[in-house]
Structure formats: C-alpha cells, structure tokens
Structure 1
Amino acid sequence: MTHKDEQTIIKKTLPKTFSSPTSAVSSEETRILTEYMNQASLFNISKHDESRRKPLVLKMFFKMKRNQQVVVILKNEEDVPIEAKVTAIGRDFVMLTNLQNRIWIPYTAIDSANIPYGTPTYSNSHQHFLYDNDLKNKLVTQFGKTVARKDTLIQQFFEETLRTNLHSWSGTWVKVRVNDTYHIGKILEAKKDLLHIRSFSDHHYIKFTEIHYVSTIRMFQLARKFTDMFRRMYK
C-alpha cells in the first residue's frame, strides 16, 4: 500500500467532524519529526536563556516518562532520593505517586532525575490515556466544557502551576519540606506566593520559593506523628 492510499483510507474512515491528517508524510514519520522539532526547539531556547534550561529539560523528561517510575534527587543533600511514578507534569512542578503518598516537587528543588536502574525505557500498557469514540467527538466539538469536567483531562491538556494544583487539594493533610524542617497541616488555600496550611490552632504560611516538596499524609501516619509529639511533651 502506498502512502497516498494510506492517506485516502484515513480521510474516508475519519468522521466529518474531525480534521484532516496533520502531515503529508506517514504517521510514524510525523511522530519522529515532531519529537525532533520539540527537542531542537528546547535546546535552542535554553541556549538563549540559560535560566529556562533546567525546568524545560525536566518537563520534557517527565513527559516522556509519564506513568513510569523515576528517581528524583533533590538539591538538599539531607533529603533521600524519591522513587515514584510520574502522575502529572505542571508548568513548574511534577507530581509523583507511590503506594502510600502523592508528592509534589518544584523543578527548582530538583538536582537531577533518572529512571531506576534496570527499569526498561519503553512505556507500559497503562501509560496512554484511552479515549472512547464519544469522548473523542466531545473533545473536538466541546473541548473546553469536556476537559473542565475531568481532572485527568486537565492534566493532559493544560500545564497547571504548583499553586493552582495545590489549591485544588484544599482540605488535604500534607507534610511540607522547607529548608531544614517540616510543616504538617491541612491545606487551606494556595495564594499567589504562599501556601497556607493549618495544624489545629497553628497556622503556617509557606513561600512557594522555599518548598522542597509537599507530600500527602495518611490518617494512621498523622495519628502516629501526633501521638509521638504528645509523648515528648508530657515525658
């Protein structure tokens, strides 16, 4: 089958509400060319603006490893490397998940990122989001309304900031790593420059520029921490 025949079949099988093929070449050539152009653009931008190099490279790396295991080494040498699955990639942060916690890490706090030793580089069967035909049609005809209804689609199509993403998790108990200490509390709100959390009567206002990472806390972990705290107080 020639390339011309392939394009003819694609045009005939696509519903009328969908756009025509995005390229004059075959699908695999288009994919390779797109990836090459993205990488070339990335290094061209970073060459002219060194300050954007690190976050752009990290963002591309995490996008290539979405739903796969990665190892993140933080700039603070006291923090142990974090190994978890890439769940969401934002404008200035990455969200990782493991069996116990959800972890938000700003790009500015990351020293390096890699895949665990011995882990294959190919994607697994759960890496790609599957769309049914009805969803495909809604994305074409009612994109904004459809995406706004699902958090998974918001993460897929838009790059949230750390502030907006954490604000959507208001009411969640978290542990915030800041410099040489931790703050534990419930997220109340994420303002322009500050994350506001509360632990009973104690309020903490944490600058986003000082955050190393934010991690969720399970209730049994929370109970154990406060039990240990009370024991120390009344010992």
Structure 2
Amino acid sequence: MQNQTPEEIIQWQDEGIKKQAFTSPAGNGTTEQIRLQEEYLALANAFLLAKHQPEKGRIRLLKTFLKEKRNQQVEIRLHAERAVRGKVSDVGRDFLILTSLLERVWIPYTAVKEATLPFDSPDFDTTHQQILFDNDLRKKLLRNFGATVSRRSKLRELFYEESLMTSLNRWKGHWFKAEIKGGVIFSGRLEEAGEDSIVLKGIGQRKTLLYKELQTIRKARFYQKFKGK
C-alpha cells in the first residue's frame, strides 16, 4: 500500500466497495415509508384472511393487537360473558397470558370474544422501556442460540411463539384453578399438559379438561409448589 500511487489506492478502494453485498430495498420510498407500508400490508393481509377464513383471521388480528399492547393493561372479554383484566405478559401460538399482582391467567384464543383497553387505562403506542446493549448476550445468541433462548422466558417470547401445551408443561406440579364453559371451576395440581387437554389432580379426584372447553387457567403468583401427601 505504501508503494502504490493515489490512483491505485482509489481503484483498490472502489473494488472493495463493489465486492460488498447489499440487499435490494423493499420499495421506492424512504426507510420509514417502507416500514409503514410493510405494517399496512401485514394488517391488510390479516383482514383479507379474516374475510375468507374468519376464525384464522380473527386470531391473527387478535395476536397483532396483543403484541402491540405487551406489558400494558388490557381487558379480555370471554365467550362466558365476563371480562378478565391484566397486563399482557405473553402472546403464544394459541393462547395469551395476563398477569396481575396476585395471579397469572392463561386464556386460550378459542375462549376470547374480543380484546380491548380498559376505560381507565392509558393507551401507549409502544411499550416504554430502556434499551441496554448486552455484548455477552449477543455472543451467546451467536454461538449457542437455541440453548440461550430456551433458558430465558423473555427471549422465548421474542423469538418463538409457544403453544399452550409447551407453556403449561413448565408448571407441572403447581396448583391451578381452571374454569370451563358453563362457569364450572375445577382446582388441582397440574399433572400433564397434552396436545388437546390438561390433567388436574384435585383432592380425591382426577380431571381431564379439553383446551376447547377452557375459559381461563389461573395460578396464584405467590403460591408454593403443591406437595401432596
């Protein structure tokens, strides 16, 4: 490089720039216009899906709404003609989790009639948070992505949509209170969460509950793991 002429150095730099690979832009506008257009198209596709496949489209729009309100207060109105309030903690593949000071509530999408914001709750466009750049976490994600994500619930929520079965299976042995259609409530220790049902073992009885019949599954946040005699 020291023996090269200025013209040769400029030519070498130009060749280096040409070798760099750049992705094609997603549109003709500015970056913010392209991002807004992508959001608009995603919503337009969801409404189109709802028109031709109402149930799938309804769930997709519901998930979009809930993801935008993560860590904010929402009100979920159930088909059982009552409402549940809480902060959106997780938005899964076929369920959502609301948390309050005293309990955590799993709600299958099949039980949701509609979601809205409580009248006395502020509406934020985005979640208020501070961003910290973690170099150590970055290295772990690059070198061992699967193990790193699986060990942290917040990363699982960010990179992966869990199913209700997967979420509940991490709480085996804990005491739950499940409400099914008709307002019937059954309490018991979670023994198993399968693809279409859960098994709760109460005092003197064992009950299998189908997901499609469930309205809510509640767990007190400060209860200890139940130990049967």
Aligning the two structures, in what range does the TM-score lie when normalised by the shorter sequence?
0.7 to 0.9
Indicate whether 1:71 and 2:86 are aligned: no
Q: Which residue of 1 aligns with 2:213?
A: 210
Counterparts in 2 of 1:203 and 1:20: CA distance versus 1, 3 Å:
farther
Q: Is the 8 A contact 2:70 2:127 kept in 1?
A: no
Number of aligned positions between the proteins: 202
Instruction: After the TM superposition, list the runs of 4 or more consecutive aligned residues in structure 1 that deviate by more than 6 angstroms.
Output: 19-22
Which residue of structure 2 aligns with residue 228 of structure 1? none
Determine which of 28, 44, 47 is the counterpart of 2:48.
44
State the distance in 1 between where 2:203 and 2:24 align.
Answer: 55
Deviation at 1:113, TM superposition (A): 0.7
Is residue 178–residue 214 contact of structure 2 (8 Å, CA) maintained in 1?
Answer: yes
- Take 2:105 and 2:223, find their aligned partners in 1: how far apart are those partners? 16
Shift of 1:147: 1.0
Q: Equivalents in 2 of 1:100, 1:134: separation in Å?
A: 34
Residues 29/136 of structure 1: CA separation in 2 closer, same or farther (3 Å cut): farther
- Which residue of structure 1 aligns with residue 166 of structure 2? 164
Change (3 A) 1:76 1:47: same
- 2-structure distance, mates of 1:23, 1:135: 29
Deviation sequence 1:55-101 (CA, Å, 0-9, x none): 11111110111111101111112x3x111000000111110000000
Correspondence list, 1:107-126, <5 A:
107-118=109-120, 119-126=122-129
Tell me which amino acid in the other structure corresponds to 1:43: F
- Which of 131, 134, 144 is 2:146 aligned to? 144
TM value normalised by structure 2: 0.78
Does the CA contact (< 8 Å) of 1:187 and 1:198 recur in 2? yes
1:101-155 deviation line (CA, Å, top 9, x unaligned): 00001111111111112412333424x7755122234334432232122122112
Partners of 2:132 and 2:39 in 1: how far apart? 21
Residue pair 2:69, 2:127 contacting (<8 A) in 1 also: no
Q: Deviations over 1:187-208 (max 9, x none)?
A: 1110122201112332111111
Within 2, Cα distance between the matches of 1:20 and 1:147? Answer: 29
Bigger radius of gyration? 2
Contact 1:68 1:123 survives alignment (8 Å): no
Q: What is the CA–CA distance in structure 2 between the aligned matches of 1:82 and 1:207, rounded to whole Å?
A: 20
Partner SS, residue 186 of structure 1: strand
CA distance in 2, matches of 1:47, 1:130: 41
Matches within 5 A, 1:1-235: 23=25, 27-77=31-81, 79=82, 81-118=83-120, 119-126=122-129, 130-179=132-181, 180-217=183-220, 219=223
Q: Which moved more, 1:38-47 or 1:59-68?
A: 38-47
Q: 1:35 to 1:182 in 2, by over 3 A?
A: same
Distance 1:130 1:23, change over 3 A: farther
Find the residue that maps to 1:99 and give its secondary structure. coil
| Alignment match, 1:4 | none
C-alpha displacement of 1:41: 2.1
What's the Cα RMSD here? 2.7
